[in-house]
Structure 1
Amino acid sequence: MLNSELERFIQEDLGPYDLSCTLVPEREVEAFILAKEYCTLAGIDVAMSIFKYFGLQAVPSHSDGDQVQAGNTIISLRGSSVSILRAERLSLNFLGHLSGIATMTSKCVQIVRSFSDTRVACTRKTIPGMRSLEKMAVVAGGGDTHRFSLSDCIMLKDNHITLMGFEAAISEAKKRASFTQKIEVEVESMEEALLVARMGVDIIMLDNMSPTEVLRTVQKIKKEGLKEHVIIEVSGNITIENLEEYAKTGVDVISMGSLIHAARWIDLSMEFSA
């Protein structure tokens, strides 16, 4: 995290007149952050940056991606009592939010791995300003980042098709794309999937299709001899409850906005040593 970003977060949290933290005697103390429930960790580097900014000695017991049990110590701290109090909420917020994403992702990856080696990916449904951190939390949970921005890949979605049609949109994308950019097209039926596969796109996204429809579409693309040169992704209304059915369809990628927007914060706490 850049210092400019970090300072903005700290300024927001401390405000102009921090009386609560400065009420305590200024002295060197020890503290630790512990997990209050099982989780997959993410955000350790962010927390370490916060502690470093406040001049604290911080020693992590775990790394991003580690699975820890309730009661496990995550980071040990030593330094100014006032500084530790000031770093407390900010560090716990990042760790709780990002570990929640990593934990959710890890659960989904484990479900899919029981049936296939299909990738589990997130989407661009992220909190503005937090995308890189939230996507790295997905990586900590064993998931795929998908594209970070509109510049990473040319994705033609339903509104592109409404405005231009499949053929014009794909033709223009091929004409203007860099050789490093893949072209992905969102479709809503088997017929549309076959159409764009024959047009030579790199990735087909099957959007809001049932597991049965997805399976039939994948089988048809294979039967037509088109699968070898295209990646098939499925997205839309996929949850941890129905994920197993999509994992059995033979797609290459399952993308889930819920990895981030439906992830529950993990309960962590900071305690001072007696």
Structure 2
Amino acid sequence: MSSLSPDVAKALTDGGLDPEYVASVIMMALDEDLADGPDVTTEATVSADATDTADFAARAVGVAAGVPVAAAVFDLVSQGTAKIRQAVKDGDRVEPGTVLLTVTGATRDLLTGERTALNLLCHLSGVATQTRLWVDAVEGTGTKIRDTRKTTPGLRALEKYAVRCGGGENHRMSLSDAGLVKDNHVVAAGGVVEAFEAVRKAHPGLPIEVEIDSLEQLPGVLAAGAELILLDNFTPERMRAAVQVTGRNELYGRTRLEASGGLTLDLARAVAETGVDYISVGALTHSAPILDVGSDFREEGK
């Protein structure tokens, strides 16, 4: 039950997701439901030859994400026999009543996969919806919204995919695809410049971001050649001062600045208007409310 149909796998690949990874997440979720055997309620109440059509529709305004993932759930549960129609694309804005996905197949398969599909679809759409709120809040400023590594264990690639669906950008995916010098690294290395230079020496050519928590640290890391600096818990006033110090001048080049820490949606535009390049928001993934999506069988004859 772990092999995806070619068309379902292609839809995932086209969205930048690894089909094998998605299948492994789904199988882990299904294993939780089926750990002690089949769905006893469904098996007792639904005949083996019964078929139905289920529509998965939004119950609130938001942004869709994870529609191909939900489709993959039913592809796996039905072993490729379900007929699946993805009614919207990930990233589309939806309203109450908008059908995201329609699945026709064995009723037992629909009921067995329903909760896993909804859990993933509601959560990922919630992440995309939350991201879009931030993206809309800074529209026109040139500032980009980025996620963090504050993700659900095992779901990082899916949650970061949902951020992209909402118009955001991804920060590093792992601890090895980019360096990020944080306060504890600074303590261990004996200084922020020392920490930055140690990472650069050990991994030449790797992107490195340096976190600072005071304006006094800024000239040193600029002079050392940092190309991306994270302003940790800066007020908008201090962010503006950091932008002015950086200056985009010939001495420092095009150093980019990222605001992070203690930010809220109502402050997003004020932060963006300071001139920072990025705003990173852990809440996109660790605190996003779900987008309510429901599953309803069609009445006979419809």
Tell me how far 1:225 sits from its aligned partner. Answer: 4.8
The one-letter code of the counterpart of 1:130 is L
SS, match of residue 228 in structure 1: coil
Structure 2 Cα separation of the partners of residues 119 and 167 of structure 1: 26
User: Which among 259, 263, 273 is matched to residue 288 of structure 2?
Assistant: 263
Is 1:113 equivalent to 2:110 in the alignment? Answer: no
The residue number in structure 2 matching 1:211 is 236
The residue number in structure 1 matching 2:262 is 237
Aligned pairs for 1:1-274 within 5 A: 1-2=19-20, 3-17=23-37, 18-23=39-44, 24-26=46-48, 27-55=50-78, 56-114=82-140, 116-164=141-189, 165-179=191-205, 181-222=206-247, 225-226=250-251, 228-274=253-299
Tell me how far 1:6 sits from its aligned partner. Answer: 2.4
The one-letter code of the counterpart of 1:44 is V
Tell me how far 1:163 sits from its aligned partner. Answer: 1.2
- Give deviations 1:96-149, integer Å, cap 9, x for gaps: 0000000010010011114x1111000000011000000000000000011000
Tell me how far 1:39 sits from its aligned partner. Answer: 0.9
The one-letter code of the counterpart of 2:150 is K
The one-letter code of the counterpart of 1:6 is I
Tell me how far 1:247 sits from its aligned partner. Answer: 1.1
Tell me how far 1:219 sits from its aligned partner. Answer: 0.9
Aligned-residue sequence identity (percent) comes to 35
Judge conservation of contact 1:233–1:252 (CA < 8 Å) in 2: yes
Count residues in correspondence.
Answer: 272
SS, match of residue 242 in structure 1: helix
**Structure 2 regions of 5+ residues with no counterpart?**
1-18
Structure 1 Cα separation of the partners of residues 249 and 122 of structure 2: 47
Structure 1 stretches of 4+ moved >4 Å: 223-227
Structure 1 Cα separation of the partners of residues 298 and 35 of structure 2: 27
**Structure 1 regions of 5+ residues with no counterpart?**
none
Structure 2 Cα separation of the partners of residues 269 and 237 of structure 1: 34
SS, match of residue 25 in structure 2: helix
Deviates more, 1:48-57 or 1:91-100: 48-57
Deviates more, 1:21-30 or 1:196-205: 21-30
The 1:107/1:226 distance shift into structure 2, 3 A limit, reads farther
How large is the Cα RMSD of the aligned pairs?
1.4
Structure 1 Cα separation of the partners of residues 170 and 185 of structure 2: 23
The one-letter code of the counterpart of 1:143 is G
